[in-house]
Structure 1
Amino acid sequence: MSKNQSIHNTHTNTGFDIVIGNPPYSQVPKGIYPNKTFPYSEGKDKGKQNLYKVFVEHSYNLTSNKGIFCLITQSSIMCDLSASYTRELLLTKNSIRQIIEFPKKALTKEGQVFKSALQSTCILLCLKQKHKDYESLKLSINNDKTTIDKLIFESIKQSSIITLYPNRFEIPLIKKGEMKLIQKIKRDKILLGSLIERTLQGNINTIHLKRILSNSNTGFYIIKGENIHRYHLDNNFMNCKITEEAKSIIQRNLKGKYIIAIQGITGTADKNRIHCTLLESKNTKFVFLDSTKMLFLPNAKEAKYLVGLLNSKVLDWLFRKTSTNNNINIYELEDLPIPQITDSNQHLYNEIISLVNKILDSKAKDSSFDTRGLESKIDSLVYALYNLTDEEIAIIERK
């Protein structure tokens, strides 16, 4: 589109049979474009506006009924929170034919598709026609130049995506054979968020660190995300000034008896995405920075059960399917599926808690103590809790 053309007047009488584009990736203020013309990307999507989303909806507007639009766009269109309602438009008003995803960096220099790309990208192909229940979109991920002529697709029903991810309409980053496993893991479960009293993204923004930082040991400590590890905290705390603000924060933390502390930023290619441990609030004089995530629970057993699940291979694998950046967001954690405890699986629940106790105790005495054997036992119990077969376990462990 040239500068002299208006993006506002997007509806023609009939539209184009084919629309092809490579939208710009640029953040702009909300409100530049009219909600009436862009009810999804401008009207409903939250957060900062990115032009690629506007162009996705613009392409939809320009395309005739039963026409095709095909775009090279950021792969954040698949899972990112800020594109939730643009995805709703794609999933509920169109038949998505194919999505071909390319990571930011290929495994080899020769395999790099878009040399100037600063983020992962995807090719999105849509038919402007409401999907039929029996229709499936074809998804292929982790591609580069070497795979273009031998793409491996997983088929996903659009209706299944809407059912599995009703809040943000995420299109999961899955390989062939993985969709049925996701459906099984999520089936007949309760959401983690329903078990939590409250959540916090830390107690204080990192920009205010100087205000509370002390040069001497006061007995009050500042916890940042990198202090949090699987089943323990390290001892590299910063000292906190004893101020009314710090005392008030610590007092508020006491209202939740048990705190699951989670590292707030981890690399998408890291061995583990979720790193969490358990703290009893009465034994802590900690102020948490916003690079941490905090889940408050009233019950020790339930808290330990959840720590075991959050650190397990099952939930780590599932979390990665819709997490496309380094942030561990609370809303992502709250949507994780947790098995309800019944007479038939009570023994698994008890065994997980027992092993978590052993790991926490061992790490409290010596944070370098090797607990991999105990963690492996927890993984086996969690596999049984989700009733996974050997073939399904192999899919998770091939990560």
Structure 2
Amino acid sequence: MRKYILKNDKIIKIDSFPERDSKKKRVFESVKMSVCISLIQNTKVDSDYVFPVFVWDDKHKSSGLSTSFSLNDIIAIDNIDYTIPRLRPEYKTTVIKLLKKKGISLKCIEGELNVTFHKKFFGSNISNPVILKGASIQRYYYTHHMSQGQIDYLEEEKYLLEYGNTEKSAHHKYERIAMQGMTGANDKIRLVMSIVPQGYYLANSCNYILPSHLIDLYCLLGFLNSKTINWFFRCFSTNSNVNGYEVDNFPIPQLSPNAQATISELVKKVIDAKRTNSSTDTSAIEKQIDELVYQAYELSKDDIKIIEQ
């Protein structure tokens, strides 16, 4: 739909109201959902025409940001889904610079266990494999002591007897990156990911990425938990979901084996520290990871300043 409208019609303006926790800020108080109002004219225009986009902080339009895009801008940012991001004008060059570094394609998958359809296989027998839910996944570690809900265990034999021939049924055999499938739309950190060992099953409140020969799994985790990718994601997301297709679009660069190894070693240090004590301050090591990520994208001081702020 976006592609058709952008190529065949003229957008007069777009008013976007991202998802808000506060009811008083929502367009519809009882509905926690992002709202977008577009004014479009049914007429063909040149591809270099510019249309304004307003991203409002609340329904009263008391504050927000405004920017503008041409069709060529949108194609440079996302030539597949024609996503219209929420960008301040000065952010455009940084986003495009990141996208130009995309060298590795990701495949983000929803957790293999649906908490509704597969509920009959959930139990409390601790001798069965653990089912990790979104609340179990934290930055660089996972926990059995969740802030909400309870740990469930999978009746594995029954599950595999019925679903053992499906593609996802074998993914628990791999060490993989797991992430929360939903985070607060207003949270400073939107991407929350950890390495999960073999043997754990994931509920569909998680997403995951399997290991690949293209990039070391621990190095990839460093990128995905970095300030740069978190900032990039926030530029495009206006609701609480962390969708697989959004993760697939992250611009992960190709790195030399040595560069990957350097980041991986730092990531492992963070994981070891969190495993010992989840409240351990690892900010100094994470800062080193962020700096290596900046270098991988060849970001300028101005780019880094935008991301850091």
Q: TM-score, normalised by structure 2?
A: 0.84
Q: Based on CA coordinates, which of the two structures has the bigger radius of gyration?
A: 1
TM-fit CA distance, 1:209: 5.1
TM-fit CA distance, 1:362: 1.6
Q: Deviations over 1:257-308 (max 9, x none)?
A: 4311111111111221111111342xxx222111111211145961111100
Q: In the alignment, which residue of structure 2 is the partner of 1:203?
A: 112
Distance across 2 between alignment mates of 1:335 and 1:117: 32
Structure 2 residue 155 is the aligned partner of structure 1 residue 241? yes
Contact 1:258/1:300 (CA < 8 Å) preserved in 2? no
Contact 1:191/1:334 (CA < 8 Å) preserved in 2? no
Structure 2 residue 174 is the aligned partner of structure 1 residue 253? no
Amino acid at match of 2:263: I
Distance across 2 between alignment mates of 1:377 and 1:362: 15
Distance across 2 between alignment mates of 1:156 and 1:115: 28
Contact 2:172/2:200 (CA < 8 Å) preserved in 1? no
1:116-195 map, 5 Å:
118=31, 119-144=33-58, 153-193=66-106
Distance 1:129 1:361, change over 3 A: same
TM-fit CA distance, 1:116: 5.4
Distance across 1 between alignment mates of 2:216 and 2:262: 13
Amino acid at match of 2:73: S
Secondary structure of residue in 2 paired with 1:153: strand
Secondary structure of residue in 2 paired with 1:382: helix
Q: TM-score, normalised by structure 1?
A: 0.66
Distance across 1 between alignment mates of 2:308 and 2:13: 27
Distance across 1 between alignment mates of 2:111 and 2:242: 12
Contact 1:101/1:121 (CA < 8 Å) preserved in 2? yes
1:279 to 196, 218, 221: 196
Q: In the alignment, which residue of structure 2 is the partner of 1:27?
A: none
Instruction: Name the count of aligned residue pairs.
Output: 299
Distance across 2 between alignment mates of 1:105 and 1:337: 27
Structure 2 residue 3 is the aligned partner of structure 1 residue 92? no
Distance 1:241 1:315, change over 3 A: same
1:377 to 254, 274, 288: 288
Distance 1:108 1:396, change over 3 A: farther
| Root-mean-square deviation over aligned CA pairs | 3.0
TM-fit CA distance, 1:388: 1.4
TM-fit CA distance, 1:113: 8.6
Q: Deviations over 1:223-258 (max 9, x none)?
A: 111111111111233233342425859971255x43
The unaligned stretches of length 5 or more in structure 2 are 146-150
Contact 1:101/1:143 (CA < 8 Å) preserved in 2? no
Distance across 2 between alignment mates of 1:395 and 1:202: 33
Q: Deviations over 1:189-233 (max 9, x none)?
A: 22432xx5xx53112210145422333321421111111111111
Distance 1:351 1:313, change over 3 A: same
Distance 1:105 1:359, change over 3 A: closer
Q: In the alignment, which residue of structure 1 is the partner of 2:148?
A: none
Structure 2 residue 237 is the aligned partner of structure 1 residue 323? yes
Distance across 1 between alignment mates of 2:8 and 2:246: 25
Secondary structure of residue in 2 paired with 1:338: coil
TM-fit CA distance, 1:366: 2.3
Structure 2 residue 299 is the aligned partner of structure 1 residue 391? no
Distance across 2 between alignment mates of 1:182 and 1:114: 29
1:223 to 129, 132, 139: 132
Contact 1:191/1:335 (CA < 8 Å) preserved in 2? no
Distance across 2 between alignment mates of 1:152 and 1:330: 27
Secondary structure of residue in 2 paired with 1:126: strand
Distance across 2 between alignment mates of 1:98 and 1:325: 21
Distance 1:253 1:373, change over 3 A: same
